[in-house]
Structure 1
Amino acid sequence: MADDIQVQVCHALPDSSFLHALKVPAGTTIGQAVALSGLLQKIPGIDLAVNMVGIYGKKKPLDTVLREHDRVEVYRPLQADPKEARRRRAGSKPAKG
């Protein structure tokens, strides 16, 4: 059908990953595509109210309308604050000079 678009939904865990290609009707949102992909059933710990989503590495709201060949990414929560981790690494290195 001309009204369908091809998209991918993906999510990565430390020991596995989920990647599902699907055809969805034009006008489908990120939230709808995630639900249609089966990701929420396969990995029940995902909460779209908490986990951020994006398209090709750019954060987007759940109501973003998808375009042909978009890759929807469901991100995991950060384990540590990146700024704090960088401070700890910098503090453990000897000073240059």
Structure 2
Amino acid sequence: MIVVEIGYALADKQKLLRLSVPDGTTVREAVLQSGMDQHFPGLDLAGSPLGIFGKAVAKSDARVLEEGERVEIYRPLIADPKEVRKQRAAKAAKGRADAE
């Protein structure tokens, strides 16, 4: 058995759980075993993006956990950051053109 932490946070609430899992447990398996969805109704543990110590894990169903790692459950993005930057740049360019 190894001990890992599972964390999830909203703007006004956060939870960090310590969990003992069998050696060889994957990131997704640990999250599903955590029961974090009981603390946050509506949380989709099967589909949420996951990371370890702030770095996204692309293949959470294949990545095996090591002793002491902290798994983070990420919330879906509300807006695409690239699109927001494009819109902000276009607005700034329009503002400069109008000022000339």
TM-score, L = length of structure 2: 0.76
Partners of 2:26 and 2:20 in 1: how far apart?
A: 13
The residue aligned with 1:85 is 84
State which of 60, 71, 79 in structure 1 corresponds to 2:58: 60
Residue type at the aligned position of 2:59: P
Partners of 1:49 and 1:28 in 2: how far apart?
A: 15
Residue type at the aligned position of 2:49: M
Higher helix share: 2
Q: Give the aligned CA root-mean-square deviation in angstroms.
A: 1.8
Residues matched between the structures, number? 92
Q: Verify the 8 A CA contact 2:32 2:46 in the aligned structure 1.
A: no
Q: Verify the 8 A CA contact 1:10 1:72 in the aligned structure 2.
A: yes
CA offset digits 1:11-39 (Å, max 9, x no partner): 12111112111222211122221122220
Residue type at the aligned position of 1:76: R
Structure of higher CA gyration radius: 2
Aligned residues: percent identity? Answer: 47
Q: Verify the 8 A CA contact 1:9 1:72 in the aligned structure 2.
A: yes
Q: Deviation at 1:49?
A: 4.2
CA offset digits 1:38-94 (Å, max 9, x no partner): 202221312234311121222232322111111111110001110111123333435
Q: Verify the 8 A CA contact 1:34 1:40 in the aligned structure 2.
A: no
Instruction: Decide whether aligned partners of structure 1 residues 49 and 34 sit closer, same or farther in structure 2, where only a CA change above 3 A counts.
Output: closer
Report which stretch shifted further, 83-92 or 69-78: 83-92
